[in-house]
Amino acid sequence: MADFIKISSNNVKEIEAIDGIFRKTLVYSDQMMMVQFKLLKGANLPVHSHPHEQMGFIISGKLEFNVNGKSEILNPGDSYLVKSNIEHGAKVLETAIVIDIFTPARDDYK
């Protein structure tokens, strides 16, 4: 792998992961991955878990994030961390742009 990799999000294909939730895998190594999500108002990210730690930053929009049955409202400028194997999901209250980082990198997002 190269010592430096530059990715322009404008050149990355957007994939509709589930209804109303789109992702762009921006850059990754074996150890971590950065993903941009566009979540449309009214979409729901079902409760799920995965072995990856996940941290994120809300660029725009508003989410009702559910972690282990507890809800938190996330607004622009908020960041979060979800440990591995913890159940989480979200309701999209306002169309949002979110950057998530996963460690290790998710093979299913490559």
Count of other CB atoms within 10 angstroms of residue 83: 12
The Cα 19–Cα 3 span in angstroms is 36
Q: Which pLDDT belongs to residue 1?
A: 66
Q: Which pLDDT belongs to residue 28?
A: 95
The rounded average pLDDT for each run of 10 residues, N- to C-terminus, in the chain (110 residues) is 90 97 96 98 97 98 96 98 98 98 97
* Domains of the chain with CATH codes: 26-109 (2.60.120.10)
The whole-model pTM stands at 0.94
Q: Which pLDDT belongs to residue 2?
A: 83
Cis amide bond preceding 104, omega within 30: yes
Residue by residue, DSSP assigns 47-76 as EE--SSEEEEEEEEEEEEEEETTEEEEE-T
